[in-house]
Amino acid sequence: MFNLPRFIDLGLCNKVGGGQTNNVYELPEMPGVLIKTVRSDIVDPEGFNKRSKGARRLRRLGIYNGVARELNEFLVQLRRRRVPPFNMPFAQPLGFVQTTEGLGYMVERIDDRDGRMAPTMRDLCRAGSFGALHLKALNEFFDRCKREHLVLGDANSRNIVFTDARIGKPEFVCIDGLGEKSVIPIHALSRYFNDRKIERLRQRLLREAEWARTNPAGQRPRRNGRKIFFALTCAGVLTASTAQPTEKATGIEVSQAPVQDEGFIDMAQDAIDYAVSLIAEPAEPLPVLGPPRLHDVSRPRPLPANLTAV
Ligand SMILES: Nc1ncnc2c1ncn2[C@@H]1O[C@H](COP(=O)(O)OP(=O)(O)O)[C@@H](O)[C@H]1O
Ligand SMILES: [Mg+2]
């Protein structure tokens, strides 16, 4: 019988992934489980992100704020469903362990049908394999998040993975960035605001899928200079009053100042994404994409014609 460990020496684990914040490990004795730790190189001796300044240093959870946010959302979802088992559209938190890199956050590992770690949406787009099946699954994912009032703080294409080996049908699963990020928790409090945010995310990811489809690697025609300038100016204005780490978006680097409200950062990120989309825009411009609306995001934007069918 396997006993849950209280401490894991990560030297005995295989590193299987990682990103801007986390290292991701697997332990052969614990199949189906991933262990996430916060990368030591971004942590200061006080347990804050080295780039955190000002009010952010008052948050007592420091680098574990993100884990707490995810756990919070998980608990909210469980509160609503008291009769297990449920398949939720995110990797289920499984527990905590101490490791040689501080807290180890254990989560459900999402695999593809061959037992390899499931590809992210970004992987699928880059490989040119994002197709109708994925599109349907993506729309279902967002519809479900709306229905279940799931708050997605940071759902970009690297934080959702695709699998058809989990619930018996193709699905996207959120593996990172769950939970409310705004200082004022408007998305957690209000379905209306959450739905609007999810709709913006859906539009953003559909655009990304569309660029990937129409712009295979290496073909990046540059046009729309004025629109790019406008979008980047919006991003600049929005970030001018805030203090955050440097964000990189497909080659465009934006230095963010002191954070008043993460909603601003969200909007700035939208503006940056929009600028990036314009850089990568195909010769035939997509029919729908207006500049990001900073005050009015309520009007639904129609999807590109070739993406509406599902
Ligand atoms: N639960 C999971 N199942 C499958 N793959 C995962 C899971 N969690 C993370 N990964 C992989 O590890 C990568 C980095 O993990 P993530 O938690 O997103 O780190 P970061 O916060 O640094 O971006 C992801 O892009 C994904 O490829
Ligand atoms: Mg991530």
For residue range 242-277, list pLDDT tens digits in order.
Answer: 544 444 444 444 444 444 455 666 666 666 666 666
Return the residue whose CA atom lies nearest to atom 4 of ligand 1: 110
| Ligand 1, CB cutoff 6 Å, lining residues | 17-22, 24, 34, 36, 91, 107-110, 117-118, 120, 158-159, 161, 175-176
Give residue 222's pLDDT.
Answer: 52
Tell me the whole-structure pTM to 2 decimals. 0.75
**Residue 194 placed within a domain:** yes
Return the residue whose CA atom lies nearest to atom 8 of ligand 1: 175
Ligand 1 center–CA 17 separation, angstroms = 6
Ligand 2 center–CA 33 separation, angstroms = 17
Both tokens of residue 164? 């058809």
Ligand 2 center–CA 19 separation, angstroms = 6
For residue range 155-183, list pLDDT tens digits in order.
Answer: 899 999 999 999 999 999 999 999 999 98
**Residue 188 placed within a domain:** yes
**Residue 309 placed within a domain:** no
Ligand that comes closest to the CA of residue 154: 2
The single-letter DSSP state of residue 111 is B
80 and 93 housed in the same domain: yes
305 C-beta neighbours (distance < 10 Å), count:
10
**Residue 43 placed within a domain:** yes
Q: What is the spatial distance between Cα 215 and Cα 274, in angstroms, rounded to a whole number?
A: 15
121 and 211 housed in the same domain: yes
Both tokens of residue 235? 């991003």
Ligand that comes closest to the CA of residue 18: 1
Question: What total number of domains does the chain contain?
Answer: 3
**Residue 176 placed within a domain:** yes
For residue range 98-126, list pLDDT tens digits in order.
Answer: 999 999 999 999 999 999 999 999 999 99
202 and 169 housed in the same domain: yes
Choose which residue among 22, 74, 101 to substitute to test ligand 1 binding: the one with the highest number of ligand atoms within 8 A of its C-beta.
22
130 and 65 housed in the same domain: no
233 and 213 housed in the same domain: no
**Residue 247 placed within a domain:** no
The single-letter DSSP state of residue 45 is T
68 and 133 housed in the same domain: no
Ligand that comes closest to the CA of residue 107: 1
Q: Is 222 left (phi over 0), alpha (psi -120 to 50) or beta?
A: beta
Residue 21 sits in a domain of what CATH number? 3.30.200
Q: Are 182 and 261 in contact (CB under 8 A)?
A: yes
State which residues form the domain around 274.
Answer: 221-242+261-283
Backbone angles phi, psi at 94, to 5 degrees: -115, -20
Residue 118 sits in a domain of what CATH number? 1.10.510
One-letter identity of residue 216: P
**Residue 133 placed within a domain:** yes
Ligand 2 center–CA 159 separation, angstroms = 5
In this structure, of 55-59, 86-90, 115-119, 185-189, the range with the lowest mean pLDDT score is: 55-59
Q: Is 278 helix (H, G, I), strand (E, B) or coil?
A: helix
Q: CA–CA distance from 273 to each of 35, 75, 85, 93, 128 (Å)?
A: 30, 31, 37, 30, 20
Ligand 1, residue 18: give the atom nearest the CA: 14
**Residue 300 placed within a domain:** no
**Percentage helix, strand, coil, to 5, in the chain?**
35, 20, 45
